[in-house]
């Protein structure tokens, strides 16, 4: 099972971000959500083992066919793909 | 964690290489340091500087196209003004006139198109030597094998492809 990290904040629904520990856009996304005080979970996919990476990639591709990072999945139904500050602020205001 | 001194040293080299090659780096120092950290972490983890914004495989052969500078840098610079990570940017971003934005990753599409590649050595050439093209900077040379390192951008031999025209 993936190692899911939780960041405290206000409950704005289920927010799970698929990230890479090395990626600057992912870091920016995490910082922005923190500034917006949104509670979220994240998985640093690059730190998972290969089998788990493959499994996670298939899940990400359901929301984001390019399987790029970050992919923010909200309530298991919708996603914001990539660091899109305007969209993120609008969605969580 | 990578220590700050190593990040600073690495950024100096990166800056000098970019300047020598006619490229510009992101002017946002904090963003650059984050990228440098990611690149160094990947170098320690995989043995080569895989793109920090993409999921590397760990098998160098499968990651050749995303070793920084990646195969997609020039096209992304051309189409979006920045590479996928926004490490390399165009003049207006470098001057602070424009903000870099997250751009789509063209990798999966390009790899899908390449699923039927020209077989190595299948090309019939009338020249005495095959022509090799550096996928990082476009340098061309006619010789039996590609050079160990690109004389222009220092990319490794594996980044060369046979250039068919």
| Per-residue model confidence as pLDDT tens for chain A (93 residues) | 899 999 999 999 999 999 999 999 999 999 999 999 999 999 999 999 999 999 999 999 999 999 999 999 999 999 999 999 999 999 998
Q: Give the C-alpha separation, B159 to B151, whole Å.
A: 13
For B58, nearest residue in chain A (alpha carbons): A50
Phi, psi of A58 (to 5 degrees): -65, -40
Strand partners, A44: A19
Nearest to A43 by CA among B55, B46, B63: B55
Contact A84 B54 (CB under 8 A): no
Structure tokens at B120: 């190595």
Q: How far is CA B151 from the centre of its chain?
A: 15
Q: Establish if B41 touches chain A: CB-CB under 8 angstroms.
A: yes
Name the residue facing A53 among B55, B104, B108 (closest C-beta): B55
pTM summary value: 0.87
Contact A57/B at CB under 8 A: yes
CA A49 to chain centre: 18
Is A18 at the interface with chain B, CB within 8 A? no
Q: What is the ipTM of this complex?
A: 0.91
Contacts of A53 in chain B (CB under 8 A): 55
Q: Using CB atoms, which residue from A23, A53, A67 is nearest to B53?
A: A23
Find out whether A16 and A62 touch, Cβ atoms under 8 Å.
Answer: no
CA B116 to chain centroid: 23
Alpha-carbon gap, residue B136 to A45, rounded angstroms: 27
């Amino acid at each position: 099972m993936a190692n899911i990290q939780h960041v405290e904040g206000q409950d704005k629904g289920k927010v799970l971000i698929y990230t890479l520990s090395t990626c600057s856009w992912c870091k920016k996304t995490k910082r922005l959500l923190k500034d917006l005080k949104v509670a979220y979970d994240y998985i640093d996919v690059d730190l998972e083992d290969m089998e788990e990476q493959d499994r996670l990639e298939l899940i990400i591709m359901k929301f984001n066919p390019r399987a790029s990072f970050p992919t923010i999945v909200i309530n298991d139904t919708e996603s914001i793909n990539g660091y899109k500050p305007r969209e993120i602020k609008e969605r969580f205001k | 964690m990578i220590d700050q001194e190593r990040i600073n040293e690495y950024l100096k080299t990166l800056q000098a290489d970019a300047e020598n090659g006619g490229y510009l780096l992101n002017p946002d120092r904090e963003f650059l340091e984050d990228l440098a950290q990611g690149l160094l972490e990947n170098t320690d983890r995989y043995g080569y500087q895989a793109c920090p914004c993409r999921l590397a495989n760990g098998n160098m052969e499968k990651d050749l196209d995303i070793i920084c500078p990646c195969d997609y840098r020039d096209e992304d610079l051309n189409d979006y003004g920045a590479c996928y990570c926004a490490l390399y940017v165009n003049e207006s971003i470098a001057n602070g006139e424009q903000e870099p934005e997250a751009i789509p990753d063209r990798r999966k599409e390009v790899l899908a198109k390449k699923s039927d590649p020209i077989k190595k050595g299948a090309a019939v050439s009338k020249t005495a030597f095959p022509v090799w093209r550096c996928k990082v900077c476009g340098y061309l040379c006619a010789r039996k094998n590609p050079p160990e390192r690109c004389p222009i951008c220092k990319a490794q031999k594996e980044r060369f492809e046979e250039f068919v025209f």
